């Protein structure tokens, strides 16, 4: 045969090889694509689970706890004064000083590390550390001699017994501090502050970061009825009518509404999401997370887990010889080493320009031999993992919009995953529009510093109510 006759045959062979590879890859990753039928089923299940959480009889066994927050009205713009805020709930721990003056808000803040040994240590170590950070911050800011009210954004599932009483139900997001579950975290904080005896701070409100996001947006946009977090973890809150909250045991007077912290991250913990969970969702839960069997919805859609999920799929493709000619790198083989931010970087590449993808592969993961086809598949896996997350978050938002059932609602969103991923917001806008009941309009708004500003606003309202009660001789 002449070489002239070989060339088309070779081209054909390599075309077949490419198509077979494509087909093999597709067979592995297609389980990440959820149809609208599946998403609507997820919505129905989530709505049912939320009803179970709100009903007195079913709440004790419900996966989604639907905690009433004791935050019942949104700020009216008259809030003023100086407040401290704490933001603890995942990646960073921050202490903030917030000055409220009507619609003007200014703040100063400092980030402190929570060392690993404290994240998995004892209650006393954790709260002594927090009190020490508050004291350091106040001394640096020259306010150590002032008596300041504090709002605490504590973003773990808590059963609130009042605005300033919150019992931790269980740790999530990599924290595992002994002696805190079941305890009132405000008491633990006050005891640690007393042990130091060098600052005069009273925690007047504990909120969740979802509530912080909602309240701080509501300060500008009165239609803001929903708060959503897509950061280390995922969770949402919304304003619910008191009539629907059987578990409410607080004040029955107007306003007959209360913000519910859904703690939706735990959706699926009773098995209802097993019809969409994949082998790699299971592997991540069992081997990578510190809380197996818990927070299964969160593990499919938040920053702490998406990178690892993508890594597990990439590793599978490598092992099947479908990526990098079957050669992995030490870094790609290390659990937790494919960060969620890589997904954002990789998906930020322009079509067929693999600039970021190549940089992640070469410089972050130490992979030396890769082709353009490899880059394409890496992008593909990342986009499937993040789209599934955005679609699942959309189910949650559509359910909450249907429950609020107002013609026009703003959703406040915070969290680095939503903030920095190049397409998350667009995918969600589109999917929520498809899923939500007809006639309901919505807007998704980025919340800026909700955990600080929101906590200060709630603390301000708490102080105002307390002053009123004091004046009226009620306390």
| Interaction site with ligand ADP (CB under 6 A) | 89-91, 231-232, 303-304, 339-341, 344, 415-417, 420-421
User: Beta partners for 409?
Assistant: 442
- 79 or 209: whose CB is closer to Mg ion? 209
308 binds, among Mg ion, ligand ADP, none (CB under 5 to 8 A by kind): none
Query: Three-state SS for 292?
Result: coil
- 111 or 331: whose CB is closer to Mg ion? 111
- Residue 424: closest CA among 234, 211, 230, 273: 230
- 62 or 296: whose CB is closer to ligand ADP? 296
463 binds, among ligand ADP, Mg ion, none (CB under 5 to 8 A by kind): none
What gap in Å lies between CA 75 and CA 241, rounded to an integer? 18
Q: Are strands 67-68 and 257-261 parallel, antiparallel or unpaired?
A: antiparallel
329 binds, among Mg ion, ligand ADP, none (CB under 5 to 8 A by kind): none
Site map (CB under 5 A) of Mg ion, residues 194-213, x = contact: ---------------x----
In this structure, what token pair is assigned to residue 34?
Answer: 């959820």
- Least gap, CB of 90 to ligand ADP (angstroms): 2
341 binds, among ligand ADP, Mg ion, none (CB under 5 to 8 A by kind): ligand ADP
Q: Which residue has the tokens 């353009």?
A: 372
- Least gap, CB of 279 to ligand ADP (angstroms): 22
- Least gap, CB of 80 to ligand ADP (angstroms): 27
Residue environment code for 201-233, b if the CB has 16+ CB neighbours within 10 A, otherwise e: bbbbbbbbbbbbbbbbbbbeeebbbbbbbbbbb
- Residue 344: closest CA among 358, 354, 357: 357
- Least gap, CB of 339 to ligand ADP (angstroms): 6
Of 217-246, binders to Mg ion (CB under 5 A) are 231
Residue environment code for 325-341, b if the CB has 16+ CB neighbours within 10 A, otherwise e: eeebbeebeeeebbbbb
- 53 or 231: whose CB is closer to Mg ion? 231
Q: Are strands 80-88 and 147-154 parallel, antiparallel or unpaired?
A: parallel
In this structure, what token pair is assigned to residue 138?
Answer: 């106040």
- Least gap, CB of 73 to ligand ADP (angstroms): 25
- Least gap, CB of 310 to ligand ADP (angstroms): 11
454 binds, among Mg ion, ligand ADP, none (CB under 5 to 8 A by kind): none
311 binds, among ligand ADP, Mg ion, none (CB under 5 to 8 A by kind): none
- 149 or 303: whose CB is closer to ligand ADP? 303
**Total number of residues binding Mg ion (CB under 5 A)?**
2
- Least gap, CB of 37 to ligand ADP (angstroms): 29
- Residue 459: closest CA among 89, 98, 144: 98
- 75 or 265: whose CB is closer to ligand ADP? 265
304 binds, among ligand ADP, Mg ion, none (CB under 5 to 8 A by kind): ligand ADP
- 289 or 447: whose CB is closer to Mg ion? 447
DSSP assignment string, 105-167: EEEEEEEE---HHHHTSBHHHHHHHHHHHHHHHHHHHT-TTSEEEEEEEE-S-EEEEETTEEE
Sequence-separated contacts (24+) of 121-124 with Cβ below 8 Å: 121/177, 121/178, 122/177, 122/178, 122/179, 123/177, 123/178, 123/179, 123/180, 123/183, 123/188, 124/179, 124/192
Give me the active site residues, please: 173, 209
Instruction: Give me the residues that bind Mg ion (CB under 5 A), please.
Output: 209, 231
């Amino acid at each position: 045969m002449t070489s002239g006759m070989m060339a088309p045959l070779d081209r054909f062979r390599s075309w077949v090889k490419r198509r077979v590879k494509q087909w093999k890859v597709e067979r592995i990753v297609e389980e990440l694509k959820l149809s609208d039928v599946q998403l609507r089923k997820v919505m129905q299940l989530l709505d049912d689970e939320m009803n179970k959480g709100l009903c007195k009889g079913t709440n004790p066994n419900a996966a989604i706890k639907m905690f009433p927050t004791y935050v019942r009205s949104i700020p009216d713009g008259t809030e003023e004064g100086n407040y401290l805020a704490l933001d603890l709930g995942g990646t960073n721990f921050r202490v903030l000083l917030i000055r409220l003056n009507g619609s003007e808000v200014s703040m100063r803040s400092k980030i402190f590390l929570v060392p690993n040994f404290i994240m998995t240590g004892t209650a006393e170590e954790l709260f002594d550390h927090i009190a020490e950070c508050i004291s350091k911050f106040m001394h640096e800011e020259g306010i150590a001699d002032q008596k300041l009210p504090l709002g605490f954004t504590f973003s773990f599932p808590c059963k609130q017994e009042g605005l300033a009483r919150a019992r931790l139900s269980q740790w999530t997001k990599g924290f595992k501090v002994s002696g805190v579950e079941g305890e009132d975290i405000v008491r633990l904080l006050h005891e640690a502050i007393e042990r130091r005896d060098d600052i005069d701070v009273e925690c007047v409100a504990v909120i969740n970061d979802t509530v912080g996001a909602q309240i701080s947006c509501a300060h500008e946009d009165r239609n803001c009825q929903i708060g959503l977090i897509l950061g280390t973890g995922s969770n949402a809150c919304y304003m619910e009518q008191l009539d629907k909250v059987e578990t409410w045991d607080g004040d029955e007077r107007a306003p007959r509404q209360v913000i519910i912290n859904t703690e939706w991250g735990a959706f699926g913990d009773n098995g209802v999401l097993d019809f969409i969970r994949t082998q790699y969702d299971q592997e991540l839960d069992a081997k990578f997370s510190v809380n197996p069997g818990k927070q299964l919805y969160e593990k499919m859609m938040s920053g702490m887990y998406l990178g690892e999920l993508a890594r597990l799929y990439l590793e599978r493709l490598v092992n099947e010889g479908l990526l990098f000619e079957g050669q992995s790198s030490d870094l790609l083989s290390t659990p937790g080493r494919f960060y969620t931010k890589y997904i954002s970087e990789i998906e930020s590449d322009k079509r067929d320009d693999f600039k970021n993808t190549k940089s992640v592969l070469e410089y972050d993961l130490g992979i030396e031999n890769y082709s353009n086809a490899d880059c394409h598949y890496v992008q593909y896996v990342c986009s499937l993992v993040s789209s599934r997350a955005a679609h699942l978050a959309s189910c949650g938002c559509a359910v909450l919009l249907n429950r609020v059932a107002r013609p026009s609602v703003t959703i406040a969103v915070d969290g680095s995953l939503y903030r920095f991923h190049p397409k998350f917001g667009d995918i969600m806008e589109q999917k929520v529009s498809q899923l939500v009941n007809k006639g309901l309009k919505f807007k998704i708004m980025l919340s800026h510093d909700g955990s600080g500003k929101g906590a200060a606003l709630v603390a301000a309202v708490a102080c105002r109510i307390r002053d009123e009660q004091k004046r009226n001789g009620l306390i």
